[in-house]
Structure 1
Amino acid sequence: MEYPEKGSKLYLFSIVLVAVLGGLLFGYDTAVISGAEKGLQAFFLGAKDFVYTDVIHGITSSSALIGCIVGSALSGFFAQRLGRKKSLAVAGVFFFLSALGSYYPEFLFFEHGKPTYSLLWMFNFYRILGGVGVGLASAICPMYIAEVAPSNIRGTLVSWNQFAIIFGQLVVYFVNFMILGEHTNPIIEKTAHNLYVVLPESDAWTIMTGWRYMFGSEAFVAGVFTVLVCLVPESPRYLALIGKDNKALAVLARINGISKAREILSDIKSTVEVKSERLFSFGIMVIFVGIMLSVFQQAVGINAVLYYAPRIFDSMNMGNPMVQTVIMGIVNIAFTLVAVFTVEKLGRKPLLIWGSLGMALGALGVAVSNLVTVPPIVPVISIMVYSASFMFSWGPICWVLISEIFPNTIRGAAVAIAVAFQWIFNFIVSSTFVPMYNMRLGEMGDRFGHMFAYALYGVICVLAAIFVYKLVPETKGKTLEDMTALWRNRNKK
């Protein structure tokens, strides 16, 4: 077989672009709830056979995260048995079915437009199905990109996956905004008995139809991704892992040129004498660091802000909350690009540390705004600072590190465990945010809940900065094979 002398960046970027679409779907699926959740809440508040409480709404809004936990936990099995490429195709199918099912959960079994307890279960089933797709994509997309990318631009290319996640969230903010159009979100009030009621003047279209279009809009992107992922090559490191060295060399040569490809394949083969090793072959610390990166990425509270952004801005009385949500999405995009273009220059650790401190400042700014009287612009800016700081640090850099810190022979299983913890804590944070945010205390009323939630997130951000400074290794400029030596040496000490 004749191999190219020079690698093709166009080829590399085209296959990375397809993988990045999985990140876009990840962002789209997780953020679509932000525009739909109020209409969805109003719809199920109309049920006659059960009471749709705050807790049930928090779980329903976050139910996709249950699927994310399952999908990410299974991602290691899928990645090892099916390979990275086929696993992404499976994720695409789940995205597609979930979008259609969430749009029309009554399909075959239920009366259209009649909210019931059984229909709530069916809706959550479709959201969980999409969550399985997100869980698979969240673990395997950055893994795939890291395994095809040259080491000198690996951090940048994996960071583009986070850019796609945030871009997907921005796209869905716009889509939700356009779908809502001249319609308005339902008006929901809390009664003296701590129950919610939908006021009669609420827009009926939003309650019965609007949220359906928001969920269904994902089907088009999911279909395109599923088709395109079938056209990309399998990861060369996975091919080498299963003994298909000629195919691995062919992919590496198209990306790097034949001379460099042989050198990379030789390095890969030197670290994969066996298909896999025991999870703790390199000590417990590598697994602990991977898990805690995931835990802190969620425990800082960012997804509570992203999922409930319109509701949060609405409580600040600063005009149209959907417009402010779109502005926040644009700010998030801009600061994610900061990470994309600096991760190979500044390194992973500095970005994580400075981002943690910036988030702490923003979160504590919101907390203080609920203790003393300040202009509404102060908490809005604080939210923007908090979100922007996440976007150039924990957003992209956590995924970069998780995709590259683990040795080749345990990467599939280790990434699956780390990402599963990420989704477990995502679920915990997202499902507890609404009840915590709405806590009342004496004269402070619900301002106490607003203050407490952000004060807690601010403290966790400071702890995250300390963790990174003390325990996380810098991986800038290192090959994936270098990580095997790094953790073997650490384990010997």
Structure 2
Amino acid sequence: MISALGGLLFGYDWVVIGGAKPFYERFFDIADIPSLQGWAMSSALIGCIIGATSAGKITERLGRKRPLGIAAFLFIISAAGTGWFNDFNLFIGFRILGGLGIGLASTISPMYIAEVSPSVYRGRLVSLNQLAIVVGILAAQILNYIIAEPVPVSMTDVEIVNSWNGQTGWRWMFWVELIPASLFFILIFIIPESPRWLTKNNQKNRSLKVLGDIGGKKYALKIQEEIQETLSESNKSISIKELLQRKNKRLIIIGICLAFLVQWCGITIVFNYAEEVFTSAGYGVSDSLFNIILTGVVNLVFTIIAIQIIDKWGRRNLWLLGSIGLCITFLFIGGFYFFGFKGFSLVVLIVTAIAIYALTLAPVFWVLVSEIFPNRIRGAAASITVTSMWIASFLITYSFPVLNNALGAHGIFWLYGGICVLCFFYVRFKIPETKGKSLEEIEFYWESKYN
């Protein structure tokens, strides 16, 4: 749970900007400039890409624990700075710093949890990271709504800029993050290091102690033996040449494809541009912020359900179910926009899409990223995969205002529905079921498949 606080800060930092959007855009006078709107929303993702890219090297050298502390510190600096300055470029700079923290936390938190979890519980424990992300998202949505004073529909841009929301409220939306970020930084000091990293770095006694605390002496000896069997050359650093070996390259390509698919299925846009989506459905700013809270509550409820079923239903089945469910829902949403239907019925469809995503693709992606890679390359491969996810997230977030103008809301959702079909067929033919298998058993499977 402490490690998963990285996910909570990831969720909060990722979504808080959506609630601040109607106010900082008018404050910085970019409300009518789509390119700068997209840059403000997506700039943190540049930091995410850099953070996730560097996570592999950092975790191989420093372990899993200390880099989580670095991520917490970056969240603290970003939260303070984003709300403090009146210059748009400084605003962007601190958003990028927060993105660095997200990039590190989003790579390392699920990896750490997977490496300390017994196989029978690994799915639901790694899903705690997704639960924390969802709690962070909901916290941002609720606090945005509480902080923002009511905005009458008749209020002009000039009046919004000169209001408490336009001058101060949006800053507090970012500053609230200082509380969980500071808590995360303090609590990191009390968790143990990953036993798999300790073994890989010739600290077997410490590894045995951690494993013993988790499952007892017999469990510790069994898992330690399996770890060592997969780390025959663990004292050597990982080279690019090794990552590009036939078996490793195929696994990394699988990770990259999953990363792009889970982002381009479209839910990222619903979260980042929720206020705009609900406004186009006929709601004012205040009503949109309330509807956004509804999406967060549904996201949380169905994530909790996912934690209960992911080790029973399996990763693959949930992904396939979610891909088809999202495709059908997006076809209907696109149809509603196309024919001009607005109001509560459209909100129900959007909430349904979020429920499907929270139950299926969202938790399954993080679990798969944490478990499909071999012990020896896990840090580097997970880093590449999460980096790819943030690149995909940047592309979809930055391009949305432009695509929305070109295709219309209906065209955008139909495009994402088509991508959900690709999600289904890719996992159907490429990904095996991994539930109930130890990390080492999964590694042996790939060995037999690609050798």
Q: Which runs of 5+ in 2 are unaligned?
A: none
Does residue 359 of the first structure (1) align with residue 339 of the second (2)?
no
- Residues 23 and 160 of structure 2 are in contact (CA less than 8 Å); yes or no, is this contact kept in structure 1? no
- Residues 95 and 133 of structure 1 are in contact (CA less than 8 Å); yes or no, is this contact kept in structure 2? yes
Structure 2 match to 1:140: 108
Aligned with 1:60 (options 40, 44, 51): 40
Query: Percentage identity across aligned positions?
Result: 38
- Residues 362 and 384 of structure 1 are in contact (CA less than 8 Å); yes or no, is this contact kept in structure 2? no
Q: For residues 35-76 of structure 1, what are the alpha-carbon distances to aligned partners after superposition, in whole Å with 9 as ceiling and x for unaligned?
A: 001111001118xxxx96111111111111100000000000
TM-score normalised to the size of structure 1? 0.87
Structure 1 residue 373: Cα displacement: 4.1
Q: Distance in 1 between matches of 2:441 and 2:56?
A: 21
Q: What amino acid is aligned across from residue 279 of structure 1 in structure 2? A: L
Alignment of 1:271-350 (within 5 A): 271-275=230-234, 277=238, 278-281=242-245, 282-318=247-283, 320-350=287-317
Structure 1 residue 391: Cα displacement: 0.7
Alignment of 1:236-255 (within 5 A): 236-255=195-214
Q: What amino acid is aligned across from residue 310 of structure 2 in structure 1? A: V
- Residues 161 and 167 of structure 2 are in contact (CA less than 8 Å); yes or no, is this contact kept in structure 1? no
Structure 1 residue 384: Cα displacement: 1.1
Structure 1 residue 487: Cα displacement: 1.3
Aligned with 1:410 (options 377, 392, 399): 377
- Residues 90 and 133 of structure 1 are in contact (CA less than 8 Å); yes or no, is this contact kept in structure 2? yes
- Residues 149 and 165 of structure 2 are in contact (CA less than 8 Å); yes or no, is this contact kept in structure 1? no
- Residues 27 and 161 of structure 2 are in contact (CA less than 8 Å); yes or no, is this contact kept in structure 1? no
Select the structure of larger CA radius of gyration.
Answer: 1
Structure 1 residue 379: Cα displacement: 1.9
Aligned with 2:13 (options 14, 23, 29): 29
Structure 1 residue 436: Cα displacement: 1.9
Q: Distance in 2 between matches of 1:329 and 1:418?
A: 26
Q: For residues 348-391 of structure 1, what are the alpha-carbon distances to aligned partners after superposition, in whole Å with 9 as ceiling and x for unaligned?
A: 00100111111111211111012224352332121111111111
Structure 1 match to 2:173: 214
- The Cα RMSD (Å) is 1.7
Q: Distance in 1 between matches of 2:163 and 2:449?
A: 61
Comparing 341-350 with 305-314, greater Cα deviation is found at: 305-314
Structure 1 residue 311: Cα displacement: 2.0
Classify the secondary structure of the residue corresponding to 1:76: helix
- Residues 68 and 132 of structure 1 are in contact (CA less than 8 Å); yes or no, is this contact kept in structure 2? yes
Structure 2 match to 1:377: 344
| Number of residue-to-residue matches in the alignment | 443
Does residue 428 of the first structure (1) align with residue 395 of the second (2)?
yes
Structure 2 match to 1:260: 219
Relative to total residues, which structure has the larger helix share, 1 or 2?
Answer: 2
Q: For residues 59-100 of structure 1, what are the alpha-carbon distances to aligned partners after superposition, in whole Å with 9 as ceiling and x for unaligned?
A: 111111100000000000111011100000000000000000
Q: For residues 134-155 of structure 1, what are the alpha-carbon distances to aligned partners after superposition, in whole Å with 9 as ceiling and x for unaligned?
A: 0000000000000000000000
Classify the secondary structure of the residue corresponding to 1:18: coil
Q: Distance in 1 between matches of 2:266 and 2:340?
A: 24
Q: Distance in 2 between matches of 1:374 and 1:41?
A: 28
Task: Report the CA distance shift for 1:138/1:187 in structure 2 as closer, same or farther (over 3 A).
Answer: farther
- Residues 185 and 206 of structure 1 are in contact (CA less than 8 Å); yes or no, is this contact kept in structure 2? no
Task: Report the CA distance shift for 1:76/1:325 in structure 2 as closer, same or farther (over 3 A).
Answer: same
Q: Distance in 2 between matches of 1:226 and 1:165?
A: 17
Structure 1 match to 2:182: 223
Task: Report the CA distance shift for 1:122/1:203 in structure 2 as closer, same or farther (over 3 A).
Answer: closer
Structure 1 residue 200: Cα displacement: 4.2
Q: Which runs of 5+ in 1 are unaligned?
A: 1-16, 106-112, 114-118, 189-197, 440-447
Classify the secondary structure of the residue corresponding to 1:19: coil
Q: Distance in 1 between matches of 2:152 and 2:169?
A: 10
Structure 1 residue 283: Cα displacement: 4.1
Q: Distance in 2 between matches of 1:132 and 1:226?
A: 15
Task: Report the CA distance shift for 1:185/1:490 in structure 2 as closer, same or farther (over 3 A).
Answer: farther
TM-score normalised to the size of structure 2? 0.95
Structure 1 residue 435: Cα displacement: 2.4
- Residues 26 and 160 of structure 2 are in contact (CA less than 8 Å); yes or no, is this contact kept in structure 1? no
Does residue 18 of the first structure (1) align with residue 2 of the second (2)?
yes
Q: Distance in 2 between matches of 1:369 and 1:436?
A: 18
Classify the secondary structure of the residue corresponding to 2:339: coil
Structure 2 match to 1:41: 25
- Residues 283 and 491 of structure 1 are in contact (CA less than 8 Å); yes or no, is this contact kept in structure 2? no
Classify the secondary structure of the residue corresponding to 2:190: coil
Comparing 312-321 with 199-208, greater Cα deviation is found at: 199-208
